[in-house]
Amino acid sequence: MTSQSGQPRILVTFGTRPEAIKMFPVVAALRETGQCDVKVVVTAQHRELLDSVLDLAGLRPDLDLDLMLPNQSLDGLTARILTRFGEALDHLRPDRVLVHGDTLTTMAASMACYFRRIPVGHVEAGLRSGDIYSPWPEEVNRKVTGVIADLHFAPTETSAAALRAENVREKSIHVTGNTVIDALLFARAKIAAEPSLAPAIAPLRERFAGKRIIAVTAHRRENFGSGMAGIAQALQELASREDVAVIYPLHPNPNVSDVMRPALGGHDNIALTTPLDYLDFVAMMEAADIVLTDSGGIQEEAPSLGKPVLVMRDTTERPEGITAGTARLVGTDPAVIVREASRLLDDRSAYLTMARAHNPYGEGHAASRVAALAVEASRSR
């Protein structure tokens, strides 16, 4: 519905911390246009992790569906998002909805919009690994969303090419850069202005003074089981070096913590922390020499800070980083992880080659491009 001001109503939705990080700049940019009525609906697919980002951004959702349940199944969560978000659409009646990336919130919200013929704009569109089980279930989530969306905000030319290969109409594809860079620059500026906003990392810097710091994130579903065990073994071996320290914020999922705590807890050169607020997380990446991750967004963020990324997966939907040289696939074989990390630690030339490689994910103006395109499309309907 058009709002009382006569402006189109654009609804932005997300449910996880990574989505919130990448979408709060879009909400801000939409509001800065002064040309639309912006509504925000969160599913709270990640409750505690989401809230810290909302606080950072000063963002209060218009509706918080609060759908998180203990040990929730993928199909159960999908059903709850689909029905509850559908109710939100019936209440708010937006002219357009913006979704992000590849979560269950993204797919289910897009389906609810489709059932009501509400157009969908897909932020971070076109990422593809080519394997529907890696990452799982994200690859199918984003492919389904891509079928429904009529606006595709591709972060790079590579992702735009993937959409063209799926016969997405050229005029609906827009290369914008990735909004995570907007969020990262916002966070860096806040930390620079007030270092006390990132309190968790300073004592770890002091504890590990003089050591090469490896920052780690590992939580992907496809790595549960043997993959997590392999990562733990690699971290044990790397941390046995006197010149290395590991900082690892543990994901609360027991498939992660129940493996990592027994294997890595109590090691002098390993700090297992609770999940970090976004500002602390950015500070951790800045403090690190190398980043080991199975995450998606960190493959984009770390290169903006000049940090080489070793991706503990067999495939990536972000091949731009591999091509540019900012990231390298290492899988979960502990021997490969240790070999590639050691190469960066011991070979200065190899390290600088990755650290100085061009970041292909943009310069920090993606959100304003997305906002302008979304408003234009909404006003022309």
Q: Are residues 109 and 234 in the same domain?
A: no
Q: Are residues 207 and 331 in the same domain?
A: yes
Q: Are residues 159 and 210 in the same domain?
A: no
Q: Are residues 289 and 262 in the same domain?
A: yes
- Taking a C-beta distance cutoff of 8 angstroms, is the pair 316, 102 a contact? no
The CATH number of residue 101's host domain is 3.40.50.2000
Q: Are residues 212 and 301 in the same domain?
A: yes
Q: Are residues 151 and 245 in the same domain?
A: no
**How many of the other CB atoms lie within 10 Å of CB of 262?**
10
Residue type, 12: V
In a domain, 185, yes or no: no
> Which of the 8 DSSP states describes residue 155?
S
Which ranges of the chain does DSSP label H, i.e. alpha helix?
A: 17-33, 47-57, 74-92, 104-115, 138-148, 157-165, 179-193, 201-207, 226-239, 254-264, 278-287, 298-304, 319-324, 334-346, 348-355, 366-379
Q: Are residues 165 and 242 in the same domain?
A: no
pLDDT, tens digit only, all 381 positions of the chain: 555 668 999 999 999 989 999 999 999 999 999 999 999 999 987 677 788 889 889 999 999 999 988 888 999 999 999 999 999 999 999 999 999 999 999 999 999 999 999 999 999 999 999 999 988 999 999 999 999 999 999 999 999 999 999 999 999 999 999 999 999 999 999 999 999 999 999 999 999 999 999 999 999 888 999 999 999 999 999 999 999 999 999 988 899 999 999 999 989 999 999 999 999 999 999 999 999 999 888 999 999 999 999 999 998 989 999 999 999 999 999 999 999 999 999 999 999 999 999 889 988 999 999 999 999 999 876
Q: Are residues 26 and 170 in the same domain?
A: yes
The string over 350-362, giving b where at least 16 C-beta atoms fall within 10 Å of a residue's C-beta and e elsewhere, is ebeebbebebbbb
Q: Helix (H, G, I), strand (E, B), or coil: what is residue 307?
A: coil
**Tokens 């021997």 map to which residue?**
335
Q: Are residues 207 and 326 in the same domain?
A: yes
Residue 240, token pair as written in the block = 């046995």
In a domain, 66, yes or no: yes
In a domain, 186, yes or no: no
The boundaries of the domain holding residue 214 are 199-355
In a domain, 360, yes or no: no
In a domain, 246, yes or no: yes
- Taking a C-beta distance cutoff of 8 angstroms, is the pair 88, 4 a contact? no
Q: Are residues 221 and 169 in the same domain?
A: no
Q: What is the pTM of this model?
A: 0.89
In a domain, 192, yes or no: no
In a domain, 80, yes or no: yes
Q: Are residues 222 and 350 in the same domain?
A: yes
The residues annotated as belonging to the active site are: 102, 124, 138, 219, 221, 251
Please give the tally of structural domains in the chain. 2
Q: Of 300, 301, 307, which Cα lies nearest the Cα of 344?
A: 307
In a domain, 187, yes or no: no
pLDDT at position 5, please? Answer: 67
Helix, strand, coil content of the chain in percent (nearest 5): 50, 15, 35
C-alpha distances out from residue 172 to 10, 71, 224, 311, 361, Å = 18, 38, 37, 31, 20
Q: Are residues 239 and 139 in the same domain?
A: no
C-alpha distances out from residue 81 to 68, 84, 264, Å = 10, 5, 36
Residue type, 38: V
